[in-house]
Structure 1
Amino acid sequence: MNIQIFGTKKCNDTKKAERFFKERGIKYQFIDMREKGMSKGELTSVASANGGIANMVNVNAKDQDAVALFQHIADEDKLEKLLESQQIIKTPVVRNGKQSTLGYQPDVWKTWQ
């Protein structure tokens, strides 16, 4: 497995995801989204694995202005807007190759090989 966890150090679900993999002795790479964020290719890959760009947005994010703007712009502009405003993405984003999840989903992670 090649696990990547995208999240923030303050996010409780991100901490729980890290603990999940640590307890099982599975190595992972943590990427702090406040420092680095996701590339366009990573974002596109995660979006396609999780039912589209709109499913990646945390509607309860602190930055409600960015959420509202995202919801009301044209579909073709949403990818670029999400790249600019990654603080509204549901965390953690956990990737294993082409597979990925949004949020804390240990039941899905247990099935990964």
Structure 2
Amino acid sequence: MNIQIFGTKKCNDTKKAQRFFKERGIKFQFVDMNEKGMSKGELSSVAAVNGGLSEMVNPNAKDQDAVNLFKYIADEDKLEKLLENQHIIKTPIVRNGKLSTIGYQPDVWKKWE
């Protein structure tokens, strides 16, 4: 398994995801999205597996202006807008090769083991 966890240090669900993998002795790479965001390719592949870019947006994000703008811009502009505003993405994003999840989903991760 090649686990990557994208999230922030303050996000409780990200902390729970890290704990989930630590308790099972599974090594993972943590990427702090406040320091280094996702690349265009990573964002596209996660969106493709999880139902599209709109599924990645946290409707309860602090920056409601960015969330609302994302809802109403043209579909072809959404990838660029999400790359610019990664702070509105639901976290954690957990990747295992081509597989990925958005949010805290231990039931899915158990199937990866």
TM-score normalized with structure 1 length: 0.99
Could you say which residue in structure 2 is the equivalent of 1:27?
27
Unaligned runs of 5+ in 2: none
Deviation at 1:95, TM superposition (A): 0.1
User: What is the SS of the residue equivalent to 1:29?
Assistant: strand
Identity %: 81
Counterpart CA distance in 1 for 2:34 and 2:25 is: 26
Deviation at 1:9, TM superposition (A): 0.1
**RMSD of the TM alignment (CA)?**
0.5
Alignment: residue pair count: 113
Deviation at 1:33, TM superposition (A): 0.2
Runs of 4+ displaced beyond 4 Å:
none
Unaligned runs of 5+ in 1: none
1:5-40 Cα deviation digits (max 9, x unpaired): 000000000000000000000000000000000000
Deviation at 1:55, TM superposition (A): 0.5
TM-score normalized with structure 2 length: 0.99
Matches within 5 A, 1:20-59: 20-59=20-59
Could you say which residue in structure 2 is the equivalent of 1:4?
4
User: What is the SS of the residue equivalent to 1:34?
Assistant: coil
User: What is the SS of the residue equivalent to 2:10?
Assistant: coil
